[in-house]
């Protein structure tokens, strides 16, 4: 059973999505946190993992915490997604920048990536797959999205004081928007990020790891056709280095996930990454 738990800290309510897990050793159930949601007055439906968003009990709890604000924020997100879809497919980078700047006045850049850009790019990919838009339009939208992330990245001025992270994709994977987004976010959190987010020979990646000694490798796979190449890449990394590897991406957001010699994470929000990185490295 999944439900929302509230915790009061210094007069403010904070919400956690938790589930009951049976402990066979103690013969009792215990609570396990699925996701920290944030300050109650700022949590909206989009903050809930997709598989729980239509749970009536969860929606009821959200509605009790400043329902007018929740409705306003959800409407702002819907509007921003609709606008961004149009401007990306139109190839209008200037308007995309304005949409981003307006959105972060209310929310933040992590929310923009998680709740606006990512679902819009998924929709664009699905619309191309179902012949609703042309391959040319999909390429234009992807290129504009990458330019947008680069612009946001250039505005991120944070000194690097934390661990070194390598972002890469397997041979044949030409989609690197996910790596660009993660680079932008982790750099803003002080990580030293090496973004090798374009299709690179496995041997070159191995040489880079040997030269730069990152504490963690993150592999992004967008297309299902590249899953086997991702498995081979990770196997080679593990054969040559004692280094933790995380794998994720749109190709793994399916019911049946293939096996990897790595930690698999799907449907993550960016604000979960620092904790996952700390846990994985330790």
237 and 209 Cβ atoms separated by less than 8 Å? yes
pLDDT at 8: 82
Regarding pTM above 0.85, the answer is no
Dihedral of alpha carbons 174, 175, 181, 186, sign: negative
Tell me the C-alpha distance between 39 and 66, whole Å: 11
| 220-232 burial: b if 16+ Cβ within 10 Å, else e | bbbbeebbebbbe
Q: Measure the CA angle with vertex 279, ends 8 and 174; round to 5°.
A: 110
- Predicted confidence at residue 206, as pLDDT, reads 96
The CATH number of the domain covering residues in 69-154? 1.10.1240.10
In CATH, the architecture of 164-281 is 3-Layer(aba) Sandwich (3.40)
Is the C-alpha dihedral spanning 148, 116, 4, 38 positive or negative?
positive
b vs e for 27-52, b when ≥16 Cβ sit within 10 Å of the residue's Cβ? eeeeeeebbbbeebebbbbbbbeeeb
For residue range 64-118, what is the model confidence (pLDDT) as tens digits?
A: 776 666 677 778 889 999 999 999 999 999 999 999 998 888 777 888 888 899 8
For the chain, which residues score pLDDT lower than 70? 66-70, 156-161
| Intervals of CATH 3.40.50.280 along the chain | 164-281
Region(s) of the chain under CATH 1.10.1240.10: 69-154
Residue 58 is predicted with a pLDDT of 83
């Amino acid at each position: 059973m999944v439900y929302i738990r509230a915790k009061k800290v210094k007069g403010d309510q904070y919400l956690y999505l938790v589930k009951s897990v049976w402990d066979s050793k103690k013969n009792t159930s215990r609570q396990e946190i699925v996701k920290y949601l944030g300050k109650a007055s700022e949590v909206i439906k989009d903050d809930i993992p997709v598989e729980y968003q239509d749970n009536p009990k969860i929606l009821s709890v959200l509605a009790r915490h400043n329902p007018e604000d929740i409705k306003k924020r959800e409407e702002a997100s819907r509007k921003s997604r609709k606008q961004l879809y149009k401007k990306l497919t139109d190839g209008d980078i200037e308007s995309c920048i304005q949409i981003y700047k307006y959105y972060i006045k209310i929310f933040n850049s992590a929310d923009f990536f998680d709740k606006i850009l990512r679902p819009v790019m998924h929709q664009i990919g699905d619309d191309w797959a179902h012949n609703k838009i042309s391959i040319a339009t999909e390429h234009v939208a992807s290129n504009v999205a990458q330019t947008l992330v680069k612009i946001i990245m250039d505005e991120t001025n944070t000194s690097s004081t934390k661990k070194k992270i390598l972002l890469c994709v397997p041979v044949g994977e030409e989609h690197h928007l996910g790596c660009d987004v993660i680079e932008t976010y982790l750099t803003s959190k002080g990580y030293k990020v090496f973004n090798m987010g374009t299709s690179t020979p496995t041997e070159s990646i191995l040489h880079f790891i040997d030269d730069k000694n990152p504490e963690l490798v993150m592999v992004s796979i967008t297309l299902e056709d590249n899953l086997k190449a991702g498995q081979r890449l990770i196997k080679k990394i593990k054969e040559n280095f004692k280094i933790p590897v995380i794998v994720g991406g749109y190709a793994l957001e399916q019911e049946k996930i293939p096996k990897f010699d790595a930690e698999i994470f799907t449907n993550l929000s960016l604000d979960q990454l620092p904790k996952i990185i700390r846990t994985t490295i330790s």
